[in-house]
């Protein structure tokens, strides 16, 4: 496995030399190859599915269909169309001594992604990493291993046919021999996860995509930098000055649009003065969403048609509740009072803080950022939707002419 990490590190250096056109060309060819390989992909997928009952919820998550593969190809083409996040100069200055400084976006290098089920994640992660100049190491679940292997083999086939990166300097030979590599698949074992999390010097960033248990395990055991994504204990606070009709729409949309996503509403806080409006507030969800007023259930991420409900005395109690139980993902206030809205947005410590709009909007594409790899709930590194720009770091370039420091 050490050899794979070493290969990934070297691949990441070769990937730096590609142009955006070369990257897009590869993505378009992967899309084409996916469409042309439906039978092969479905055959591999069938090997994974045969171990499951079709009634198992995992079955649907693992399932590939011709339509889903069409969707995957469309996603790949969309990523190819996005502007490159690389080479963007975020700071530029010439110092008094003549030194010329630039801060420029560059790939992280090697990104490890640990994920559960859904084999389409292989395509997603590869496309976002490749477009942003990163090599990726994937660790999927055992239940999807045949599918994941088939997908990675398909991508490898395209990469093998692609032109290798050309050294930008004519006078010396490139150190990058052999074929272009961009994606590596680990075996679906705990040992592989442990090796990945300990690969200091080879893996620049690790992103767990999955449930709370996986995220906690990765954070607690990684020696490489980690971005925690996804886990969302999401609140909406209906303020003393909330508009009832907006509240009805926002709460229903945040809760019911898709209950299984991380931006779905988990807990509704209502100002004591508006207790009488609760039946009307909940009316759009009647018969579909179970209301839970159990204090012990506060802080639960439901992923289901359930909603915690709590009455609070004032805005500050709502803030304190969110500080205690929120996961720093998305939080929302419904109010017509501008001072209350401003204070909520100032004091809530979360990636996305909404006024009079549902948390369902927390999504890279909705924010106009393009495709996303996840929603970061931590404060170090990118926070909130992680699209292409958030998959880059930067370096400082300093150009002088023999200046020295006093």
125: left (phi over 0), alpha (psi -120 to 50) or beta: alpha
In the numeric block, the tokens 């995509």 are attached to: 209
- Exactly one of 121, 350, 386, 387 binds a second copy (CB under 8 A); that residue is 350
Q: Should residue 21 be labelled a site residue for a second copy when binding is judged by CB under 8 A?
A: no
Q: Should residue 355 be labelled a site residue for a second copy when binding is judged by CB under 8 A?
A: yes
Query: Among residue numbers 195 through 224, which ones bind a second copy (CB under 8 A)?
Result: 200, 204-205, 219-220, 223
- Exactly one of 1, 7, 17, 59 binds a second copy (CB under 8 A); that residue is 17
CB neighbours (10 Å) of residue 368?
Answer: 8
Q: Should residue 394 be labelled a site residue for a second copy when binding is judged by CB under 8 A?
A: yes
Q: How far apart are CA 10 and CA 206, in angstroms?
A: 18
| Size of residue set near a second copy by CB under 8 A | 84
* Helices and strands (DSSP H and E) totals, the chain: 13, 15
Q: Should residue 82 be labelled a site residue for a second copy when binding is judged by CB under 8 A?
A: no
Query: Among residue numbers 256 through 315, which ones bind a second copy (CB under 8 A)?
Result: 257, 314-315
- Exactly one of 319, 322, 388, 391 binds a second copy (CB under 8 A); that residue is 319
Least distance to a second copy, CB of residue 396, Å: 5
Q: Should residue 349 be labelled a site residue for a second copy when binding is judged by CB under 8 A?
A: yes
- Exactly one of 113, 151, 226, 289 binds a second copy (CB under 8 A); that residue is 226
Residue with Cβ nearer a second copy (167 or 188): 167
Token output for 372: 């996303």
Q: Which stretch binds a second copy (CB under 8 A): 18-26, 145-153, 183-191, 398-406?
A: 398-406
Q: How far apart are CA 124 and CA 127, in angstroms?
A: 5
Residue with Cβ nearer a second copy (2 or 171): 171
Contacts of 356 (CB under 8 A, 6+ apart): 243, 246, 250, 333, 334, 335, 341
- Exactly one of 1, 16, 259, 297 binds a second copy (CB under 8 A); that residue is 16
Residue with Cβ nearer a second copy (28 or 347): 347
**107 contacts 86 by C-beta, under 8 angstroms:** yes
- Measured CA to CA in angstroms, residue 201 lies from 45, 79, 157, 404 at distances of 34, 29, 28, 31
């Amino acid at each position: 496995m050490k050899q794979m990490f070493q290969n990934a590190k070297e691949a990441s250096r070769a990937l730096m030399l590609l142009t955006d056109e070369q990257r897009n060309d590869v993505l378009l060819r992967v899309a084409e190859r996916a469409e042309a390989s439906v039978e092969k992909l479905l055959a591999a997928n069938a090997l994974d599915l045969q171990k499951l009952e079709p009634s198992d919820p995992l079955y649907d998550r693992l399932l590939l269909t011709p339509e889903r593969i069409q969707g995957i190809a469309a996603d790949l083409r969309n990523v190819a169309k996005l502007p490159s996040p690389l080479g963007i100069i975020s700071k530029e200055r010439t110092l008094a001594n003549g030194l010329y400084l630039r801060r420029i976006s560059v790939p992280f290098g090697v990104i490890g992604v640990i994920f559960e089920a859904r084999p389409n994640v292989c395509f997603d992660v590869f496309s976002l990493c490749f477009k942003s100049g990163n090599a990726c190491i994937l660790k999927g679940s055992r239940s999807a291993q045949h599918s994941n292997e088939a997908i990675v083999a398909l991508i490898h086939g395209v990469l093998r046919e692609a032109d290798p990166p050309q050294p930008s300097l004519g006078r010396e030979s490139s150190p990058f021999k052999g074929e272009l590599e961009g994606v590596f698949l680990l075996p679906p074992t705990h040992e592989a996860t442990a090796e990945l999390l300990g690969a200091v010097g080879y893996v620049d960033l690790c992103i767990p995509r999955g449930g709370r248990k996986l995220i906690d395990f990765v954070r607690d055991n990684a020696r490489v930098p980690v971005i925690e994504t996804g886990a969302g204990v999401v609140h909406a606070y209906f303020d003393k000055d909330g508009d009832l009709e907006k509240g009805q729409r926002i709460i229903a949309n945040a809760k019911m649009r898709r209950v299984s996503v991380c931006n779905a509403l988990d807990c509704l806080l209502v100002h004591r003065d508006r207790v009488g409006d609760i039946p009307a507030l909940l009316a759009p969800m009647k018969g579909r969403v179970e209301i839970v007023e159990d204090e012990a259930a506060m802080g639960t991420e439901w992923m289901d048609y359930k909603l915690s409900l709590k009455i609070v005395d004032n805005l500050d109690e709502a803030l304190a509740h969110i500080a205690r139980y929120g996961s720093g993902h998305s939080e929302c206030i419904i109010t017509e009072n501008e001072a209350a809205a401003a204070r909520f947005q100032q004091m809530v410590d979360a990636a996305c803080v909404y006024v009079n709009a549902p948390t369902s909007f927390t999504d890279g594409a909705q924010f106009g950022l393009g495709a996303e790899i996840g929603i970061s709930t931590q404060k170090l590194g990118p926070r909130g939707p992680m699209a292409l720009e958030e998959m880059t770091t930067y370096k400082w370039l300093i150009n002088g002419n023999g200046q020295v420091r006093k």
